[in-house]
Structure 1
Amino acid sequence: MAVNYQSIFRRIPHIFFATVYMALVSVPASAAGYENALKGVKNYDAVYEVSQGDPKVVNPVFLVIKNSYEAPEVKSLSKDPNIAIVFHGPVVKLLSTDSASFNEAELVEIKKFQTTLKQMKKDGVTLEVCRYALKGMGVDEATIIPEIDPVDNGFVSVIGYQMQGYAVIRIP
């Protein structure tokens, strides 16, 4: 019986790719590439320092923030995530119910943003706004949505969280 080596060699790429495909699909869905980052991590504590005030930019950024603490790999840690967000700078205008300085398209984005913040508060996220920033940006504290807690100085909050072991993420 003669062996047809040409036939075998033609099938090698197919066999190779089929083997690679099977190896890839057998990788657990939870393997999102965080093995190194979360190695030995028991708690996931983060404070986001946010000043970004563009209504078109905040929504995608906050969806990513929300995804970070909702990720299955984070949820599977031994302790629930602790997330705090401290607002200062131009973003404080987006926390207000006063919409006089925004056009219709911006208002749509601001409404989505505030809805996301309300959901985050329900998720247990701590939301704080700097009173210095409110004064500096001309925003009346009485117009801030109720989910946001005013603090005298947002930098004190960020430093306090950092001293408690929270990772600090800046969103300029």
Structure 2
Amino acid sequence: MKMLLTSLLGFSLLLPTAALADKPSDERAIAGLENGRILWDITIGDPERLIARLSVIEETYDDMVRQGLEPEMMFAFRGGAAGMIAASTDHLELEDVSAVRHIHERLEDLLAREGVHMEACSIATRRFDLTQDDLLPGIQLVGNTFLSIMGYESQGYATIRID
């Protein structure tokens, strides 16, 4: 029985790798590119939905690396998402605290990756009475993420809305 469990565990660890090896490429779309520039315009205010979207964002980063692109990802938090990037969860409904803490862990993992930068809109954070000191470490408060979006798009970033 112990040998069977060990074999199953070993096989299960190989599944994600095997799935990635069989994943199709995006060679036609990314032909000639060296960098993958994406600005994630994050307005989603539902913690569970944001967790699901962060999984896709992480997979997108990994897909870039797998296909030889250097990821350059900007995150612009505004709207309801601004309330989920405060280091403290004291302002949240009790049923959202666990999910938001999970979001914090995911954002911390993303920030540790090369080429990832995060910004928060001061207009949106005012709604939650948040200052730079209240935000998760690594997230920079900016005046207006609409200007960020405009600026980064002019620098070649593709904006993908997460709402």
Relative to the length of structure 2, the TM-score reads: 0.78
CA contact (8 A) 2:25 2:67 kept: no
**Unmatched 5+ residue regions in structure 2?**
1-19
Matched, 1:82 2:72: yes
CA contact (8 A) 2:37 2:72 kept: yes
Correspondent of 1:128 among 107, 119, 137: 119
- Give me the CA root mean square deviation: 2.0
CA contact (8 A) 1:41 1:77 kept: no
* Residues 38 and 106 of structure 1: CA distance in aligned 2, closer, same or farther (over 3 Å): same
Query: SS of 2:21's equivalent?
Result: coil
Larger Rg: 1
Identity among equivalent pairs (%):
24
Which structure's residues are more often strand, by fraction?
2
> Per-residue CA shift, 1:16-58, capped at 9, x if unaligned?
xxxxxxxxxxxx9355152332233332111101010111111
The residue aligned with 1:24 is none
CA contact (8 A) 1:128 1:148 kept: yes
The residue aligned with 1:157 is 148
Q: CA deviation at 1:91?
A: 0.6
Matched, 1:115 2:113: no
**Unmatched 5+ residue regions in structure 1?**
1-27
CA contact (8 A) 1:134 1:141 kept: no
- Distance, in Å, in 2 between the alignment partners of 1:79 and 1:54 is 31
Relative to the length of structure 1, the TM-score reads: 0.75
Matched, 1:100 2:90: yes
CA contact (8 A) 1:117 1:147 kept: no
Count of aligned residue pairs for this structure pair: 143
Query: SS of 1:81's equivalent?
Result: strand
The residue aligned with 1:168 is 159
Q: CA deviation at 1:77?
A: 4.8
CA contact (8 A) 1:46 1:168 kept: yes
CA contact (8 A) 2:132 2:140 kept: no
CA contact (8 A) 2:42 2:76 kept: yes
> Per-residue CA shift, 1:93-126, capped at 9, x if unaligned?
1011332342333111000100111111110310
Query: SS of 1:139's equivalent?
Result: coil
Matched, 1:67 2:67: no
